Amino acid sequence: MNILIIEDEYHSAARLEHLLKNYDPSVQIAAVLTSAGDSIQWLKENKHPDLIFQDIELNDGNCFEIYSQVDVKVPIVFTTAYSEYALKAFELNSIDYLVKPFDKEDIKKVLDKYSQFQSLFFLQNRRLSEEQLLMNTSSKSRFLVKIGDRYESVGSSDVNYIRFEQGMSFIYLANKRKYPVEGSLSELEIQLDRKSFFRINRKYIVSIDCIQQMNAWFNSRIKLKIVPDPDEDVIVSRDRARHFKKWLNGGE
């Protein structure tokens, strides 16, 4: 973890660096800056760190001047002997606000919170990347299936739904025939036309054309009647129900 310290009191900066390295010896201190002017210049000229510990009152004014001149996206932990700036601090990228004097337990809580934020940030970005990939990937137009000792090409438009069973993905056609196909549901979801297909849960990707009936179900879920009938309840999971409705309305 690469951390920038902006603190104009030498002893406070040294103590903070000691507490950080005591929490995690692998922590790297990018720089220790003592003024708003130096901080603006440093942030304009250097790669931004993973995290900033920022004293609010500096020897040439308060720190908010820095962030009015430099666009900083990384999380900030504000440190101060006063609490009147708390609301202003949280208007920025603040993940915490420490009132001096703070100790190792305070630092531990802050860095544990930072780790949780990083995990959430990673998941959000991974989801955004997957959604972007879904939008940009050319749609799969056909499946190669094996029937006995021969192969046939089945158009995606002929597929009613895809079901994951017995560790494999199977396409189901309107005539009730089914064929194993290569790829997990996650891979096939990316490849198929999003206007025509939607993954409703961990087991099914359905075509808009196979849905015959929809009913409200428990816990904000939706129960579907699809063809051919799979002889089991087909439920849109709770976390996908809102997106499913949007998809039906032409919004996905």
Q: For the residues of 44-55, what is the DSSP string, one character each? A: HHS---SEEEEE
Most confident of the ranges 13-22, 108-117, 127-136: 13-22
Confidence of residue 72 (pLDDT cuts 50, 70, 90): confident
For residue 146, the model assigns a pLDDT of: 86
For residue 129, the model assigns a pLDDT of: 47
Q: What angle do CA 251, 157, 175 make, to 5 degrees?
A: 125
- Is residue 241 within 8 Å of residue 222, measured between CB atoms? yes
Fold of 2-134: Rossmann fold (3.40.50)
Q: What is the four-CA torsion angle of 92, 30, 115, 242, rounded to 10 degrees?
A: 50
Q: Which CATH superfamily is domain 142-248 in?
A: LytTr DNA-binding domain (2.40.50.1020)
Backbone angles phi, psi at 176, to 5 degrees: 75, 0
**Does residue 149 surpass a pLDDT of 90?**
no
Tell me the per-residue pLDDT of 154-171, one tens digit each, with 9 for 90 and over: 999 999 999 999 889 999
Residues of the chain with CATH 2.40.50.1020: 142-248
For residue 139, the model assigns a pLDDT of: 81
Residues 42-64 have a mean pLDDT of 88
Residues 218-246 have a mean pLDDT of 93
For residue 71, the model assigns a pLDDT of: 87
Residues 204-211 have a mean pLDDT of 96
Confidence of residue 123 (pLDDT cuts 50, 70, 90): very low
For residue 59, the model assigns a pLDDT of: 82
- Is residue 252 within 8 Å of residue 246, measured between CB atoms? yes
Q: Number of C-alpha atoms within 13 angstroms, CB side, residue 84?
A: 2
Q: What is the mean pLDDT of the chain?
A: 85
Residues of the chain with CATH 3.40.50.2300: 2-134
Residues 189-204 have a mean pLDDT of 92
pTM of the model: 0.48
Question: Which of 52-56, 76-80, 174-178 has the least mean pLDDT?
Answer: 76-80
Give the Cα separation of 78 and 143 in Å (integer): 56
**Does residue 239 surpass a pLDDT of 50?**
yes
For residue 28, the model assigns a pLDDT of: 93
Tell me the per-residue pLDDT of 91-103, one tens digit each, with 9 for 90 and over: 555 677 777 788 8
For residue 128, the model assigns a pLDDT of: 46
